[in-house]
Structure 1
Amino acid sequence: MTPGILLQYLLPHRLLSRIIFHVTRWTWTPWKNLLIRQISQRFKVDLGEAAEPDINAYAHFNAFFTRALKPGARPMSADANVLVCPADGHVSQSGAIHGGRIFQAKGRDFSAVELLGDAQAAVAYADGQFITIYLSPRDYHRVHMPMSGTLVATTHIPGRIFSVAPKAVESIPRLFARNERLVCHFEGAHGPFAVVLVGALLVSSVSTVWGNLEIPPYASRVNKRDYRGQSIRLERGAEMGRFNMGSTVILLLPAVGPRLDPRLVPEQAVRVRQDMGALGPGAED
Structure 2
Amino acid sequence: MSLTTALTYALPHRLLSSMARSLAYSDDPRVSRWLIDTVTRKFNVNLDEAANPDPRSYATFNQFFTRALKPGARVADADPRSLVMPADGRISQLGKIEAGRIFQAKGQSFTAAELLGSDEDAKPYNDGLYATVYLSPRDYHRVHMPWTGTLRETVHVPGRLFSVGPAAVNGVPRLFARNERLVCHFDTSFGPMVSVMVGALLVSGVETVWSGEEIPAYGDRITRKDYRGQGIKLERFAEMARFNYGSTVVVLLPPGVAEFAPQLGAESPVQLGQALAKLR
TM-score range, shorter chain: over 0.9
SS in structure 2 at match of 1:146? coil
Question: Counterpart in 2 of 1:266?
Answer: 266
SS in structure 2 at match of 1:150? strand
Question: Counterpart in 1 of 2:14?
Answer: 14
Are residues 1:155 and 2:155 paired?
Answer: yes
- 1:80 CA drift (Å): 1.9
**Counterpart-to-counterpart distance in 1, 2:262 and 2:204:** 30
Over residues 234-256 of structure 1, what are the superposed CA-to-partner deviations in whole Å (9 max), with x where a residue is unaligned? 00000000000010000000012
TM-score by length of 1: 0.96
Give aligned pairs, total.
Answer: 280
Are residues 1:67 and 2:67 paired?
Answer: yes
- 1:29 CA drift (Å): 1.2
Question: Counterpart in 1 of 2:132?
Answer: 132
**Counterpart-to-counterpart distance in 2, 1:155 and 1:258:** 25
Within 5 A, what are the aligned runs for 1:59-208? 59-208=59-208
For structure 1, list consecutive stretches of 5 or more residues without a partner in the other structure. 281-285
TM-score by length of 2: 0.98
Amino acid at match of 1:13: H
SS in structure 2 at match of 1:143? strand
Which segment is superposed worse, 165-174 or 72-81? 72-81
Amino acid at match of 2:51: A
Are residues 1:55 and 2:20 paired?
Answer: no
Which segment is superposed worse, 70-79 or 234-243? 70-79
Runs of 4+ in 1 over 3 A off after TM superposition: none
- 1:204 CA drift (Å): 4.8
Which segment is superposed worse, 75-84 or 124-133? 75-84
**Counterpart-to-counterpart distance in 2, 1:221 and 1:76:** 37
**Counterpart-to-counterpart distance in 1, 2:121 and 2:214:** 21
**Counterpart-to-counterpart distance in 1, 2:153 and 2:132:** 21
Amino acid at match of 1:159: G
Question: Counterpart in 2 of 1:283?
Answer: none
Q: Residue 161 of structure 1 contacts residue 204 of structure 1 at CA under 8 Å; is this kept in 2?
A: no
Question: Counterpart in 1 of 2:46?
Answer: 46
Cα-Cα RMSD: 0.9
Amino acid at match of 1:127: D
- 1:11 CA drift (Å): 1.7
Q: Residue 44 of structure 1 contacts residue 138 of structure 1 at CA under 8 Å; is this kept in 2?
A: yes
Aligned residues: percent identity?
55
Question: Counterpart in 1 of 2:246?
Answer: 246
- 1:15 CA drift (Å): 1.5
Amino acid at match of 2:129: Q
Q: Residue 24 of structure 2 contacts residue 204 of structure 2 at CA under 8 Å; is this kept in 1?
A: no
- 1:208 CA drift (Å): 0.3
Are residues 1:209 and 2:209 paired?
Answer: yes
Amino acid at match of 2:178: R
Q: Residue 190 of structure 1 contacts residue 258 of structure 1 at CA under 8 Å; is this kept in 2?
A: no
Question: Counterpart in 2 of 1:225?
Answer: 225
Amino acid at match of 2:38: Q
Distance 1:155 1:93, change over 3 A: same
Amino acid at match of 1:110: F
